[in-house]
C-alpha cells in the first residue's frame, strides 16, 4: 500500500510537472502572443503603394543571418524645388503587415512630402523568418545600414515613427545613435513587455520572469543622444499599455526638446484618428532641421 508520504510526493511531482508543462508552453507560446503575425491574413497578402497611387521601390534587404526583409522605399525627387530633405522610417505595430500602414505612409509621403521607408519585421508579411526580439533588432540594424549607405537617405534628416511595438523598435534604433536620426515620434509604447504583462494578463503577473521578449525601452531610451528630439503621443484610456508607461518614458527621455500630448478618451489603437494627431506630428517634423517655413 502506498505510504502517505509516497502519495504526497507523487502528487507534488504531478503538480510540478503540470505547472512545468504549462509554463514551458507559455514560454514558447509567447512568441505567438507578442507577434501575432497571421492576424488579418497578414502572411498571405500585402497591399502595395501603387494601390495608393504612390511610386515606390520594392526591396528585400538581406540580414547577416540570411533573412530577407520586405521593404518599401518611397523617395521624392531631390532636384525639385521645395524638396523636404527628410525621411520618415515607419516602425509597425505587432499586428498586420506594412500594407496596413499604407494610409499613414500616404499622409507622410503624399500630403506632407517626406521620403518614407517601411519594412516588415522578420516573420511578418513577405519577410522570411520567425519574429523574435533579437531577430527584429537585427532587421532594424540591417535597414539602418541600408539607410547609412544610401546617398539620398543618409543625406536627409531621419525621423523614426513608431506605434506600440514599433515604438520599442524606434527607441532601439535611436539608442544606437545613427547620425542621420534627428527625431523620434512615439505612440502608445511600453517601458518593457515584462512591465506591460501584469496589465494585459493579470493572471501572469507572477511569471513575468518567463518573458524572454523584453524590449527594454526603459533602459534603451537613456542611451539616446539628447540632441534627438522626441514627441510622445498618448492615449488617455489605453487598454493595452498602461498610460503611465508613456508618462515614464517621457520623464526618462534625455531629449532637450521633447513634448507629450495626451489624447482625452483615446484608446490604444484609435489615437491615430484623433483630429489633432496629424497636425501635431506634422508641426513637429517641420520644426526639425532643416526647418520648413
CB of 2 to ligand NAG, least distance (A): 30
Grid coordinates representing 191 are 517601458
| Identified binder of ligand NAG from the candidate list 154, 208, 225, 261, rule CB under 6 A | 154
Grid coordinates representing 281 are 506630428
Active site residue 268: yes
CB of 252 to ligand NAG, least distance (A): 26
Q: With binding defined as CB under 6 A, does residue 3 bind ligand NAG?
A: no
Q: With binding defined as CB under 6 A, does residue 225 bind ligand NAG?
A: no
Q: With binding defined as CB under 6 A, does residue 157 bind ligand NAG?
A: yes
Q: With binding defined as CB under 6 A, does residue 87 bind ligand NAG?
A: no
- Give the range of 113-121, 125-133, 151-159, 164-172 binding ligand NAG by CB under 6 A: 151-159
Rounded distance, CA 43 to CA 65, Å? 21
Other beta carbons within 10 Å of 89: 26
- Give the range of 12-20, 100-108, 109-117, 154-162 binding ligand NAG by CB under 6 A: 154-162
Q: With binding defined as CB under 6 A, does residue 289 bind ligand NAG?
A: yes
Active site residue 293: no
Q: With binding defined as CB under 6 A, does residue 94 bind ligand NAG?
A: no
Q: With binding defined as CB under 6 A, does residue 269 bind ligand NAG?
A: yes
Q: With binding defined as CB under 6 A, does residue 155 bind ligand NAG?
A: yes
CA distances (Å), 212 to each of 39, 92, 182, 207, in order? Answer: 22, 21, 31, 11
CB of 290 to ligand NAG, least distance (A): 5
Q: For the CA atoms of 139, 57, 95, 62, what is the dihedral angle to 10 degrees?
A: -20
C-alpha neighbours within 13 Å on the C-beta side of residue 147: 30
Q: With binding defined as CB under 6 A, does residue 270 bind ligand NAG?
A: yes
The residue (of 203 and 209) whose beta carbon lies closer to ligand NAG is 203
Within residues 178-207, the interface with ligand NAG by CB under 6 A covers 203, 205-206
Q: With binding defined as CB under 6 A, does residue 22 bind ligand NAG?
A: no
The residue (of 74 and 235) whose beta carbon lies closer to ligand NAG is 235
- Give the range of 7-15, 108-116, 150-158, 220-228 binding ligand NAG by CB under 6 A: 150-158
Kindly list the catalytic residues: 164, 238, 268
Q: Residues in the site for ligand NAG, rule: CB under 6 A?
A: 85, 151, 154-157, 203, 205-206, 239, 269-270, 289-290
Amino acid at each position: 500500500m502506498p505510504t502517505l508520504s509516497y502519495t504526497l510526493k507523487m502528487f507534488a511531482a504531478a503538480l510540478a510537472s503540470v505547472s512545468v508543462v504549462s509554463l514551458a508552453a507559455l514560454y514558447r507560446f509567447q512568441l505567438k502572443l507578442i507577434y501575432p503575425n497571421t492576424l488579418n491574413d497578414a502572411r498571405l497578402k500585402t497591399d502595395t503603394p501603387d494601390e495608393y497611387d504612390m511610386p515606390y521601390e520594392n526591396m528585400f534587404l538581406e540580414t547577416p543571418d540570411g533573412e530577407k526583409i520586405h521593404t518599401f522605399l518611397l523617395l521624392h525627387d531631390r532636384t525639385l524645388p521645395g524638396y523636404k530633405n527628410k525621411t520618415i522610417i515607419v516602425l509597425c505595430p505587432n499586428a498586420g503587415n506594412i500594407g496596413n500602414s499604407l494610409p499613414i505612409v500616404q499622409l507622410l509621403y503624399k500630403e506632407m512630402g517626406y521620403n518614407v521607408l517601411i519594412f516588415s519585421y522578420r516573420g511578418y508579411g513577405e519577410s522570411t523568418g520567425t519574429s523574435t526580439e533579437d531577430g527584429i533588432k537585427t532587421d532594424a540594424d540591417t535597414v539602418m545600414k541600408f539607410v547609412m549607405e544610401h546617398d539620398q537617405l543618409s543625406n536627409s534628416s531621419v525621423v523614426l515613427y513608431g506605434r506600440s511595438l514599433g515604438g520599442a523598435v524606434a527607441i532601439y534604433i535611436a539608442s544606437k545613435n545613427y547620425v542621420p536620426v534627428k527625431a523620434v515620434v512615439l505612440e502608445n509604447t511600453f517601458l518593457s513587455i515584462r512591465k506591460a504583462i501584469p496589465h494585459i494578463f493579470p493572471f501572469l503577473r507572477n511569471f513575468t520572469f518567463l518573458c524572454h521578449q523584453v524590449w527594454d525601452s526603459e533602459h534603451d531610451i537613456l542611451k539616446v543622444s539628447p540632441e534627438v528630439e522626441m514627441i510622445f503621443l498618448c492615449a488617455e484610456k489605453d487598454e493595452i499599455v498602461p498610460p503611465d508607461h508613456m508618462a515614464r518614458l517621457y520623464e526618462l527621455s534625455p531629449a532637450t526638446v521633447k513634448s507629450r500630448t495626451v489624447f482625452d478618451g483615446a484608446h490604444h489603437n484609435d489615437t491615430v484618428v484623433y483630429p489633432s494627431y496629424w497636425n501635431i506630428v506634422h508641426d513637429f517634423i517641420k520644426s526639425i532641421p532643416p526647418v520648413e517655413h
